[in-house]
Structure 1
Amino acid sequence: MPAVALVRHRAARVAALIIVALTLSAGLAPAGPAVAAPSARQNAVTDDPEGGTPALRADLEAASKGYLDAKRALAESVQRQQQLTAQLKTTRVEHAEHTELVEQIADQAYRTGPLRTASVLLDNTSPADFLDRAAALEAVVANENQTLRELQEIQEQITQDTRAVEAEIIEQRKQEALMAKRKQQAEKALTVANEQARAAAAPTNTSTTQNSTSAAPAPRNPDGSWPTETCSVNDPTPADGCITPRTLHALNEAKAAGFTRYVSCFRSGSSGEHPKGRACDFAAQPDGFGGDATGGDRTYGNNLAAFLVDNADQLAVLYVIWYRQIWLPSSGWQSYSGAAGDPSSDHTNHVHLSVY
């Protein structure tokens, strides 16, 4: 090999070794504040760190969805009952008025005797008078018949409205029973899961009694139900996948309320709502999912959990998990033990949100 080529070859090898050494040293060096995003990506565990089991999450999803559906059906039934009750009240007033008219007609007939067609028509002095009396007689008879028909129709309407109100009461009891069943389903699933995996530390209360910012409501169907949505919009978080429009709405509302720390939503290869684009994990620490949140980070998580719970109806919340506790629409805050007992599965480093 010529001398010049040999020198170039050795220089290239040296340069390559230097690049490799720099790369390795950069990987071993502690991440500084200027590289928050890569640090967050490294801390974001992707092996389904939510704790529990797929069966538990399926039970919680089914229970919360069923509870919210029954709650909406109950509200609709109560509204229909209120409308029917108001209508029934108005109809009873009309019934009283028509009953009074019919009684007056009956009283008049009792005192003067029934209106005799022959005597009314024959007792006249001229053809014109005869026609006037005939028209008057026809009008009186028609009015009396109309009053009687209206009274009968009103009585039938009262019967129908009363039955409808009774049917709505039955429907409400049915929905209340279904809500109780869904509540029991969720709590039973949690009890079994918590018995199988006890957290190292006892669960602590997560307060949601503060005055959280009000979130704008997500769009609903005309009947008040939630539209069916798919994982159809881009996930704006570093998770880089898809989420549902309703999940994006909840994410944006949380950011607008001041919760702007690291968030990861879509996650493939796991169970639960993440692969469906219906869940987000909000890190308590600024840079990603680290150890147990303490101090200001713990307060940040408390405030975020409170915001999501306080706006559950507006954001279509299925459940919220934070610091070994889970909030359900049916049951409020309940104990939640992660299977692995680490900060991710115990949710002591992030707030998990699942939406309908």
Structure 2
Amino acid sequence: MLRRGLMFVVAALVLIAALATPAAAAPGDPTAPPDEGTGNLTLGDKLDSANTEWLQAQATLEASKKRQAELEQQMASMEKELEPIRASVNVIAAAAYRTGGNIRLTAALITTDSAEQFMDRIVLVNTIAQYNDRQIARLTKLQADLAGAKQAIDDEVAKQQAQANIQAKKKQDAEAALAKMKGKADGYVSVNSPLANPAPRNADGTWPKENCIIDDPTTTGCITPRMLHAAQEARKAGFTHFYSCFRPSGPYEHPKGRACDFAADSDGFGGVATGASKTYGTNLAAFFVKNASSLGVLYVIWFRQVWTPAAGWHAYSGGNGDPSSDHTNHVHLSVL
């Protein structure tokens, strides 16, 4: 009786475990998520870290250059306004020196012939004094604003240098992570790739941190808003083959909802892509690379090559030597 009870408990636990585990795809199912290999888990983490920081530095750099251009335009406008005001103040100073300033004005008031003439001269003298004060105040403010703008430009240049240093370091980190990958890397680029609509950014141009909060249209999992945007832009551009995004485990950004696999074949993940399927994958990879800045692309993997914003195209191997891990049957996209 005790033995039968123990067997019942074990069976129940097995059933619960089975229910808690996502159902595996049937063998040979072309829509099953591709096994991208486990030999590059560390590589994926390094690429994620290096390229995330590189992209944020690039965004800060672009925003700083835009701010610098605005400041330089303001400076040019202030310099233009400053010229006639400086000349006007110089005239005021020269006139005050030649006429003896307040002594001459006092004399002019004393030598008036009537009370009415005296009041007229009072008004005139007051008007001239107010005008002179305004011109001198404008000159002082403009000079201070100009100095402030010059300092702000210097600050932006220093910020740009700092971001460039970060990018150089992260480029080295990305290249070091890819150094073990041997083989030829021609890269996949096309000037004819369509343009994608940009994903939202922060007010300062940097990329906002996003969580896995959107229902994944390809699985029962979730993806980030930026990943959904990239997938939708690809489909708008005509790349409508089968794709799959969220996975509860595995390499790259799939468990974070920041990665999708786009099949080269129209109906699923087959063998090594050839002919029209390979052309489709090549064009899709080129589309993501061309629109990397607009979509927040972290890296693209296709046909034994990986592209990162920090290091460009490099040779790639998933470690298992099969179409899925070598990405010869699908394009992998990771976003920030």
TM-score (norm 1): 0.81
- Matches of residues 1-356 of structure 1 in structure 2 within 5 Å? 39-42=29-32, 44-46=33-35, 49-50=36-37, 52-116=39-103, 117-192=105-180, 194=181, 198=182, 202-237=183-218, 239-356=219-336
Q: What per-residue deviation string (whole Å, max 9, x for no partner) do you get for residues 315-337 of structure 1?
A: 21111000111111122211112
- How much identity, in percent, do the aligned residues show? 45
- Separation (CA, whole Å) in 2 of partners of 1:41 and 1:144: 81
What's the secondary structure of 1:348's corresponding residue? coil
**1:51 and 1:346 in contact (8 A); partners too:** no
Rounded Cα–Cα distance in structure 2 between residues aligned with 1:206 and 1:156: 52
d(CA) in 2 for partners of 1:79, 1:271:
37
Shift of 1:57: 0.8
Q: Distance in 1 between matches of 2:144 and 2:199?
A: 42
Cα pair 1:301 1:350 within 8 Å, conserved:
yes
Work out whether residues 326 and 335 of structure 1, in 8 Å CA contact, stay in contact via their aligned partners in 2.
Answer: yes
**Offset of residue 307 of structure 1:** 1.2
**How has the CA–CA distance of structure 1 residues 256 and 99 changed in structure 2, closer, same or farther, with 3 Å as cutoff?**
closer
The AA in structure 2 aligned to 1:212 is S
Once the two structures are superposed, residues 287-343 of structure 1 have per-residue CA deviations (whole angstroms, 9 ceiling, x without a partner) of 322322122221111011111111212221111000111111122211112222222
Q: CA offsets, 1:36-65, max 9 Å, x none? A: 9983235x345xx24542221111111111
1:273 Cα offset (Å): 0.6
Structure 1 residues 249 and 96, CA, compared in 2 at 3 Å: closer, same or farther?
A: same
- 3-state SS of the aligned residue for 2:88? helix
8 Å contact from structure 2 (residues 40, 318) kept in 1: no
Change (3 A) 1:66 1:304: same
Q: How many residues matched?
A: 310
Instruction: Show structure 2 runs of 5+ residues with no match.
Output: 1-25
Offset, 1:218: 2.1
Contact 1:60-1:186 at 8 Å conserved across structures: yes
**CA-CA distance at 1:158 after TM superposition:** 1.8
Counterpart-to-counterpart distance in 2, 1:278 and 1:339: 22
Displacement over 4 Å in runs of 4+? none
After superposition, the Cα gap between the structure-2 partners of 1:227 and 1:184, relative to the gap in structure 1 and judged at 3 Å, is same
Following the alignment from structure 1 to structure 2, what is the Cα–Cα distance between the partners of residues 266 and 311? 22
Q: Which amino acid aligns with 2:44?
A: R
Distance in 2 (CA, whole Å) between partners of 1:59 and 1:96 is 55
Rounded Cα–Cα distance in structure 1 between residues aligned with 2:39 and 2:168: 23
Q: Measure how far apart 1:115 and its partner are.
A: 4.1
* C-alpha separation in 1, matches of 2:301 and 2:119: 86
Larger radius of gyration: 1
User: What is the rounded CA distance, in whole Å, between the counterparts of 1:52 and 1:210 in structure 2?
Assistant: 34
**For residues 244-297 of structure 1, what are the alpha-carbon distances to aligned partners after superposition, in whole Å with 9 as ceiling and x for unaligned?**
122112112222222222211111122321001110111112332232212222
Q: Shift of the alpha carbon at 1:169?
A: 0.8
Task: Give 3-state SS (helix, strand or coil) of 1:82's partner.
Answer: helix
Code of the residue aligned with 2:215 in structure 1: it is N
* 1:173 to partner: Cα distance: 0.8
Gaps of 5+ in 1: 1-35
CA distance in 1, matches of 2:91, 2:111: 25
The TM-score, its normalising length taken from structure 2, stands at 0.86
Distance change in 2, residues 1:209/1:45 (3 Å): closer
Match of 1:11 in 2: none
More displaced stretch, 220-229 vs 150-159? 220-229
